[in-house]
Amino acid sequence: MLTLEQLKKKSDKRLIGLDPVFKLVLDKLIERCYARGVWVLITQGLRTYAEQDALYAQGRTKPGQVITKARGGYSNHNFGFAVDFALLLRDGRTVSWDTLRDDDKDSLPDWSEVVEEAKKLGLEWGGDWRTFKDMPHLQMVFGLSTADFRAGKSPTQAQLNTVLAKINLLKMEDEPMTAEEKAAFKALQNTVQKQADRIKTLETTAKQPKVPAWAEQACINAKAVGALDTANDGSFDFYRMVTMLDRAGVFKRGVVAQ
């Protein structure tokens, strides 16, 4: 029986060079799947253009089956925002791509459990693609294309912060609270709900076309904990109140239940 740390070590080499936030998401994926009795192994991570071209040649100019439609520079693997995964069997050595396997005997295929947890973390699954389905593929590209990455673009800090907030909220859910913590959490929920109601009353018809720069982070924090569904078309007073609440610590991660 492998410990969680032993399992994580088996994926360490394939996580080298990945975007740091994306790497944290994958670390959380391995943890959450392990808690469900499913062992996830990262089998592919960052690839160079040359490595990508070699894979592209397979089934075309080299023997083997076609396994990718992307040349070097046209795969998210080339920019540190994509991985491939497999299941590690209970012997701790055998790797499986069997999508119907159910080693933990809960009637749900282990592969499906991995995909379920991946989507909770905001990962995109290649099995959902309409053409050239890539079942072992997971990625997080923040709306950017490979052309964007080739041009040197990267996710915004606001996008990265949103992902980090989601990871922290899931961490809070995974860790059991004491009776005192539950009581304090409930009190904070009530406070936030009252403040959320107050925010709604401050909305007026004098809506601004976009969120002011000085209120952007506060709105991101509020949305991350579920206090806001959208920050669009708010009034000056609305954004001022959200900013004040954020500075007061109301939107700290874990304060609002999802």
Q: Indicate whether 253 belongs to any domain.
A: no
Q: Are residues 120 and 221 in the same domain?
A: no
**What's the CATH code of the domain at 111?**
3.30.1380.10
Q: Of 116, 133, 154, which marks where a domain is finished?
A: 154
Q: Are residues 20 and 96 in the same domain?
A: yes
Number of neighbours of residue 3 by Cβ within 10 angstroms: 9
Q: How big is the chain, counted in residues?
A: 258
Cα–Cα dist 191/180, whole Å: 17
Lowest mean pLDDT among 136-145, 159-168, 192-201, 219-228: 192-201
Lowest mean pLDDT among 77-81, 112-116, 224-228, 250-254: 250-254
Q: Of 130, 154, 178, which marks where a domain is finished?
A: 154
Q: Indicate whether 255 belongs to any domain.
A: no
Q: Indicate whether 258 belongs to any domain.
A: no
Cα–Cα dist 113/104, whole Å: 11
Confidence of residue 199 (pLDDT cuts 50, 70, 90): low
Confidence of residue 172 (pLDDT cuts 50, 70, 90): confident
% of the chain beyond a pLDDT of 70: 90
Q: Are residues 149 and 22 in the same domain?
A: yes
Q: Indicate whether 159 belongs to any domain.
A: no
Q: Indicate whether 160 belongs to any domain.
A: no
Please list the residues that pair with 221 across neighbouring strands: none
Q: Indicate whether 213 belongs to any domain.
A: yes
Average pLDDT, the chain: 88
- The larger pLDDT score, comparing residue 136 to residue 255, is at 136
Q: Are residues 170 and 146 in the same domain?
A: no
Q: Are residues 219 and 92 in the same domain?
A: no
Confidence of residue 191 (pLDDT cuts 50, 70, 90): confident
Cα–Cα dist 98/136, whole Å: 10
Confidence of residue 73 (pLDDT cuts 50, 70, 90): very high
Q: Of 98, 132, 154, which marks where a domain is finished?
A: 154
Q: Is 11 helix (H, G, I), strand (E, B) or coil?
A: coil
Q: Are residues 150 and 169 in the same domain?
A: no
Domain that holds residue 188: 165-247
- Write the burial class of residue 73 (CB in 10 Å: 0-12 exposed, 13-18 middle, 19+ buried): middle
Nearby residues of 117 by Cβ (< 8 Å), 6 or more positions away: 29, 32, 33, 36
Rounded (5°) CA angle 9-11-12: 65
The answer to whether residue 81 scores a pLDDT higher than 60 is yes
Q: Indicate whether 252 belongs to any domain.
A: no
pLDDT in tens, 17-26: 999 999 999 9
Q: Are residues 129 and 225 in the same domain?
A: no
Please tell me the predicted confidence (pLDDT) of residue 201.
65
Handedness of CA 83, 88, 93, 94 (dihedral sign): negative
Q: Indicate whether 254 belongs to any domain.
A: no
Q: Are residues 19 and 61 in the same domain?
A: yes
Q: Are residues 213 and 105 in the same domain?
A: no
Cα–Cα dist 178/127, whole Å: 40
Q: Are residues 150 and 64 in the same domain?
A: yes
Please tell me the predicted confidence (pLDDT) of residue 232.
76
State how many domains the chain has: 2
Q: Are residues 83 and 208 in the same domain?
A: no
Confidence of residue 36 (pLDDT cuts 50, 70, 90): very high
Q: Are residues 233 and 181 in the same domain?
A: yes
